[in-house]
Amino acid sequence: MPEPRPHIKEIDVKNDTVVFEDNTTIAIPDIIIYATGYLTLVPFIHSADDLALQPTSVDYSPAFTDGVVVNDIYKFTVFIPNPTLGILGLPFRVVPFPMYQYQSLLLARIFAGLPLPSQRQMKQEWDAISSAKPGSRVFDMGLGQVEFQNDILDFVGGSELLGQVSETWIERRKQAPKLRRQELGY
């Protein structure tokens, strides 16, 4: 079982180490899961340039995140400057576990070789979404989760495990706020 560590101070790729706030280090692992809670704080990633795989002519947002919005995320899951970085769970006002399933399906297919659009195309899609819903509202999905999940299925070419969202699920989701108010009083 992994032992708890202090916050990550830096990922030192030159020396292949992760440096923690107490200045202890470990070799860079295969996977880092960095759970941040409600604020998206990733202090060891300052800008897209820190993670970019190669120089590009695409203009990315200057900051990876401002703590509320993670910038340049294709399909709310893939970091456009470096598509080997996947981030689950950014959208809110969703049913979380189905959301994670569809995001995981997307990442699994991409990591298995599903081609992505060009960085320019992905960035244009992100810019359209983020300008239509500025600030933290960009990740406020609500019933848009249905369209998102069906879009993921279309993009990956379907799935034997996950299907299109059913009308029954949609109706139940629409009733959720009313039921919450009735049963829980808020």
Measuring CA to CA, which residue among 92, 75, 101 is closest to residue 155? 75
- Both tokens of 31, joined, read 């996977």
pLDDT, tens digit, for every residue of 98-117?
999 999 999 999 999 999 99
**Predicted TM-score of the model (pTM):** 0.73
User: Residue ranges of the domains in the chain?
Assistant: 34-184
Residue 37, pLDDT score: 62
The C-alpha atoms of residue 5 and residue 18 are separated, in whole angstroms, by: 11
pLDDT, tens digit, for every residue of 153-175?
999 998 887 888 888 888 888 88
Q: How confident is the model at residue 38 (pLDDT cuts 50, 70, 90)?
A: low
Query: Which distant-in-sequence residues (6+ apart) come within 8 Å of 29 by Cβ?
Result: 18
Q: How large is the average pLDDT for residues 12-31?
A: 88
Per CATH, which fold does 34-184 belong to?
FAD/NAD(P)-binding domain (3.50.50)
- Both tokens of 75, joined, read 């399909």
